[in-house]
Amino acid sequence: MQPPPDTKDWTWTLRRRCDQCGLSAGEIDPAQFAERAFVAAEEWVQILRSSPAVSARPQPDVWSPLEYGAHVRDVYRLFDARLAQLLSEDTPTFASWDQDETAIAERYSEQDPEVVADELEAAAQVFVARIRSLTPDQYSRRGFRSDGAEFTVLTFIQYFLHDVIHHLWDVTGQQDAAASLALE
Ligand SMILES: [Zn+2]
168-183: pLDDT as tens digits: 999 998 876 555 444 4
The model's pTM is 0.91
Q: Is 4 a domain residue?
A: no
Q: Which ranges of the chain would DSSP assign to H, the alpha helix? A: 33-50, 65-88, 99-105, 113-132, 153-172
Angle at 21 between CA 17 and CA 2, to 5 degrees: 125
CATH (domain of 48): 1.20.120.450
Total tally of structural domains belonging to the chain: 1
In a domain, 53, yes or no: yes
In a domain, 49, yes or no: yes
pLDDT in tens, 1-41: 677 766 667 899 999 999 999 999 999 999 999 999 999 99
Q: How far apart are CA 28 and CA 26, in angstroms?
A: 6
Ion ligand 1 — residues with CB < 5 Å: 18, 20-21, 166
Q: Is residue 17 part of a domain?
A: no
Q: How far is the CA of 178 from the centre of ligand 1 (A)?
A: 12
In-domain check, residue 14: no
The domain in which residue 79 lies consists of 30-177
Burial class from Cβ neighbours inside 10 Å (0-12, 13-18, 19+) for residue 32 reads: middle
